[in-house]
Amino acid sequence: MSREIAETAVRFAHENSNSYLDISFFGGEPFLEMDLMFHVIEYAGTWRKTNDINMPLRFFATSNGLLLDDETLKKCRDARILLSLSLDGHGACHDATRPLPDGSGSFDLIAARFPAILNHFPNIQVLSTFSPRNIAHMSEGIEKLYYCGFRYFTIGLNYEEPWDDKSLEIMRREYAALGSFYENRYECEKPVAINIFDSHIAAHVNENCERCACCDKNDGEIAVAPSGNIYPCLRFVKTDEDHTLLLGNVQTGMDRKRRARIMIDAGREWPECATCGYHGRCFHYCGAVNFKVNASFNQPPRILCLQTQCAIGLADDIASRLYNSQNSMFLKRFYS
Ligand code: SF4
Ligand code: SF4
């Protein structure tokens, strides 16, 4: 992305936001373009000052960690970037889905950076994606990362890969093992945050809790490709060659009617979800995930149903035991 397009995108984002603004740097690996990232942050600060704009603004970035040396981490902290780290478990589990270009694993290189990462970002969010290739080591991987010092985990499954009956059985086993670890951490008063349990417990305690940080909010999300092309969500940008969902360009403007039509389409509920007993606690509305797997904004992948049902069952059992034992950390987290 040229500096000119990046600066235009910053102004465009401000002009098209009502109450607050989050700017996320995404890739690939955004830190391959870290000079541009830090330029955008500096430019936004200067431009806002000149134009007397006070709308709250936050910066986010997700990194694979390979370029996060001490100096870069310090710059990120000083720029108040909310940083997340992609780690698909520990050791060989991570290496199975994140090899280096020469085919060797990347985990050891990133692990060497853990002390610096945790020093600058002690509460960093770890984003872990599992597929049939590494799901068998999920619980062990998350547990090991916890003992490396990480406390906040967002776990997702790769819905696009084929999940046969055997890998589904392994997924259920791994979720149960991870649930035991999660519960044990509360019992030991050293809790861990894991989205697949936290979010379903929170959605039980408070039906109106925020379920998603992107589409779910008023203003919605737009994604800008290096060319300046606008898409409804970062998951649709890819190589910027498929223009089925193209909404315009930051330099020439956005087709608002098209965007509104897509939002309405994406907002329609899949009929089976509307009558499902898990409705209200299931995150089935991510149009990007649905579209990728089923070419429809609304039809959730089968694996999403099975995963959700498994996670809700476990979350309810865990929450009920922790509630009945009046676990103080659990009550404070979810009921205060
Ligand atoms: S479990 Fe499946 S059918 Fe039920 S709400 Fe979720 S995605 Fe829809
Ligand atoms: S489509 Fe999914 S990933 Fe994209 S903004 Fe909406 S909820 Fe988020």
Which two structure tokens, joined as six digits, stand for 53?
Answer: 């704009």
Atom of ligand 1 nearest to the CA of 309: 1
Atom of ligand 1 nearest to the CA of 283: 6
Q: Residue 217 pLDDT > 60, yes or no?
A: no
Exposure string for 142-169, b = 16+ CB within 10 A, e = fewer: bbebbeeebbbbbbebbbeeebeeebbe
CB of 89 closer than 6 angstroms to any ligand 1 atom: no
Check whether the bond before 28 is cis (ω within 30° of 0): yes
Report the C-alpha dihedral over residues 159, 305, 85, 15, rounded to 10 degrees. Answer: 90
Atom 4 in ligand 2: residue holding the nearest Cα: 233
Q: How many CB atoms lie within 10 A of CB 99?
A: 13
The gap from C-alpha 295 to its chain's centroid, in whole angstroms, comes to 21
CB of 292 closer than 6 angstroms to any ligand 2 atom: no
Domain boundaries, the chain: 3-213
Expressed in angstroms and rounded, the spacing between residue 287 Cα and the centre of ligand 2 is: 6
CB of 300 closer than 6 angstroms to any ligand 1 atom: yes
CATH superfamily of 3-213: Aldolase class I (3.20.20.70)
H/E run at residue 250: none
CB of 273 closer than 6 angstroms to any ligand 1 atom: yes
pLDDT tens digits, 114-138? 999 999 999 999 999 999 999 999 9
Crossing angle for the helix pair 195-205 and 302-324, to the nearest 10 degrees: 70
pLDDT tens digits, 33-59? 999 999 999 999 999 999 999 999 999
Expressed in angstroms and rounded, the spacing between residue 260 Cα and the centre of ligand 2 is: 15
Q: Residue 215 pLDDT > 70, yes or no?
A: no
H/E run at residue 32: none
Kindly report the CA angle at 15 between 232 and 217, in degrees rounded to 5?
50
pLDDT of residue 218: 44
- φ, ψ dihedrals at 329, nearest 5°: -70, -35
Contact present, 240 and 225 (Cβ < 8 Å): yes
- φ, ψ dihedrals at 172, nearest 5°: -65, -40
Which two structure tokens, joined as six digits, stand for 123?
Answer: 């509460």
CB of 279 closer than 6 angstroms to any ligand 1 atom: yes
**Range with the lowest mean pLDDT among 105-109, 134-138, 263-267?**
263-267
Q: Residue 252 pLDDT > 50, yes or no?
A: yes
**Range with the lowest mean pLDDT among 47-61, 85-99, 291-305?**
291-305
> Cα–Cα distance between 187 and 310 in angstroms, integer?
22
Residue percentage of the chain with pLDDT more than 70: 96
